[in-house]
Amino acid sequence: MFDEARDALGPVEILGNYAGVLRPTRFVDIGEDEWTAVVDTNLKGTFRVYTGAAPQMQGQGGGRIINLSSTVGRNLSTVGGAHCPAVKAGVLGLTRHLANEVAKDGITVNAVYPGLIDTDMVRSTISAAAVERYASSFPISRLGRPGEVVDLIVFLASDQAAYITGASVGINGGDLMV
């Protein structure tokens, strides 16, 4: 896939790993198939995409990789099941490891960990009343906007962030202050 993309569009300079699924299943009800699906999408997917892009970036002298995690990777999940914090913590750990390993190749690797963002996935997983309850409990009393997350990702992909690597940056309205 990355060879085809390079041939059609040029070298991969920026990689965003953003695929993810959310399942609100209680731990005792998570079956093997559901666990595997969440792990395969959220963590194994990050690994697979990285292994396609990194060799190109190493060969061309650098690039930017931004992984999407979640506040649940640093805390617990009030919306998703146990598989969500497990895989999102894994993405944060993978980010730190990769950043250390490829810095010498001019590649920066960072993670963004949003809190509750006003997306179709969130709105389809929890009720409108729950959304309002969560939002009112945050220091900035609302859900985040997708564009705010995009702005942070664009910054991390820019030359202005050339000295930032291995970082996990939260964007969550103060819901998780670390």
CA distance 146 to 108: 23
Dump pLDDT digits (tens) for 15-64: 999 888 888 899 999 999 999 999 999 999 999 999 989 999 998 999 99
Nearest to 68 by CA among 129, 138, 119: 119
Global pTM reads 0.92
Domains of the chain, by residue range, sit at: 2-171
Cβ count near 12 (within 10 Å)? 19
Model confidence at 178: pLDDT above 90? no
* CATH T-level fold of 2-171: Rossmann fold (3.40.50)
